[in-house]
Amino acid sequence: MPRVRLVARTEFIAPDDVPWTTDADGGAALVEFAGRACYQSWDRSNPMTNTNATFLHHLLDVGHLAAFEHGSASLYLTELPRSLTHELIRHRHFSYSQLSQRTDPTDVVEPDLIAQDPELHARFVAATEASLKAYEELVQSLEQTVNGRRARQIARSVLPNATGTEIVVTGNYRSWRHFIAMRATEHINVELRELAIACLRELTKAAPNAFADFVISTLPDGTEVASSPLVVEG
């Protein structure tokens, strides 16, 4: 299971000359501020949208998703295989800083289904150990002609997709919502779905009102999915 940690989130500073207050802070407050700024609706006179939670719900309900681009969150993803980051970086509205290709591999991440089967586990261990040995031998040979960083970068070509990696991912709330809506469904492979749901749990801590409409449920096979009735783009 990938480890996901919130490392940064939006700070909101309300302008002194705007006659408005809210019951939220950070990115959620900024989303509301941006939405209200469009129509200068500072008085919160509508009882249906006079809290941050109800106002953000209204924005989602009417599809005013641009306001959600103002709040952002950064997550630190570790203990995941490089195969997952191959899928993650297809979401091009995120900003990424990933473990360099010039570093030595420190571990491999074994899929749960393989780890639970002794025969498959043995095959996995044999294959990954062979790859790591080939990597080490290539590095030693290449270092005779190129520097160490270059040697490691070239030698990584023989490493498996299970090689462990780490990555910092920053995105605005709209991008995070899109990622979760796309990747937390039952039609997505379990590993990527687990990552999306782990991200959702951290994002809900950072900005509850911006992600509270997503509901996590358990399928008959024991795996989890997340969905929201307010998702209008996928």
Give catalytic residue positions.
183
Cα torsion 43, 14, 205, 93: sign: positive
Yes or no: say if 25 and 194 are a contact pair by the CB < 8 Å rule.
Answer: no
Q: Is 144 annotated as a binding-site member?
A: no
Q: Is 173 annotated as a binding-site member?
A: yes
For residue 124, which of 81, 183, 168, 85 has the smallest C-alpha distance?
Answer: 81
Determine the straight-line distance between the first and last CA of the chain, rounded to whole angstroms. Answer: 25
Query: Structure tokens of 24?
Result: 């939220």
Q: Is 87 annotated as a binding-site member?
A: yes
Determine how many CB atoms are found less than 10 A away from the CB of residue 75.
Answer: 22
Q: Is 150 annotated as a binding-site member?
A: no
User: How far apart are the C-alpha atoms of 154 and 135, rounded to whole Å?
Assistant: 9
Q: Is 102 annotated as a binding-site member?
A: yes
Q: Is 46 annotated as a binding-site member?
A: no
Q: Is 9 annotated as a binding-site member?
A: no
Residue 217's DSSP bridge partners are 225
Tokens 């937390």 label which residue?
184
Yes or no: say if 193 and 185 are a contact pair by the CB < 8 Å rule.
Answer: yes
Q: Is 5 annotated as a binding-site member?
A: no
Query: Structure tokens of 233?
Result: 């783009």
Q: Is 172 annotated as a binding-site member?
A: yes
Q: Is 174 annotated as a binding-site member?
A: yes
Known binding positions: 87-92, 98-102, 156, 172-174, 178, 183
Known binding positions for FAD: 90-92, 98, 172-174, 178
Known binding positions for dUMP: 87-90, 98-102, 156, 183
